[in-house]
Structure 1
């Protein structure tokens, strides 16, 4: 026969184990829920129009002697400067670099230096303007100066957006908002709610020609086109409730 004085303690112990199990189960579910996160990628894109154009080129000549090369270069320069002036660029609006000169050597079939063949002289010149369409037109037209004896080798014009610092802040904020919206939709689709932001990482900015698919791990900074797209990406990690 079981003694009643043993039944009560065993009953209390059994009840305690049941309560402890419920408490542990509820705590485990809470911890499990709190440890669940979701990582989403948000992006934003904006079209920008360049507000600064830069045109660079090199005036170059070749002559039998260094003196002749220098004189020939000096003879061509006024024609080039006259052209710039006709387009609204004069004085300090034209950036003229130092003249460089070097000899050109001849070599025989054995690769041996047989002496100086000629001398080259060159001078780099560049201009910049907020009228990017003017810079574009000049880059196409200026090569025609060869008909007047001017050998000016023009580079591809460069186009910049000078307020890029302000745009960067706006576009990154828009990408972060896009990440939050994506996270909310995913959470809702699974019957959950998006919780607090745990971490966020900004990707490198991509500044590409409009409608381009260029991308780089180090970022793209296009200067070849007037109209560009700036793209920002944000990787965000949220808790889910």
Structure 2
């Protein structure tokens, strides 16, 4: 079961300029807020896509060869399922979460989040007839302790492409995502430059993924990463 992590915001500083912007944030945290460097921080996300169109798999199969050929063609079209593996190596011990995205009735996309074994990526990579590996996102940076806050920041790359700086901000005293919105927004405003272009996770509905909207866990954090990446078409 996913453990409690306080209340967490995951966001992107979209127009950050790599090393220069990372140095700015680190200087701001240490000199401006007197934060303490804790450890290195890494998050890896791997995307797999199903090879079948699950919307057509339950259709009655015709006995004719033509119908079989048409069905085979349809199996590579239409809505597929997507599986995202979110590996959080900064948690001790490291943990991995699987976020499954699949089409539901009326064209609505559903999501489910479970904690998965770290070996699942190796298993998925061997099931290429069912799941095709797609892109991978890597975030590498540092963690800082600052009173009631824990701040993680790192540069994000998808393949070799730089995608800005990702920040994960944990507010430890409270597990309610809604109740800390004001505190989080104020902290982000103080931390980042006034002209920074920030992509946030506003509007995410945890209950749609069968997660509590009041009590956050690490599964909520994993879903925030996927929500941010898919909303911005980063993965």
Task: Specify the TM-score bucket, using the shorter chain as the normaliser.
Answer: under 0.3
Please identify the structure whose Cα radius of gyration is greater.
1
TM-score, normalised by the number of residues in structure 1: 0.27
TM-score, normalised by the number of residues in structure 2: 0.28
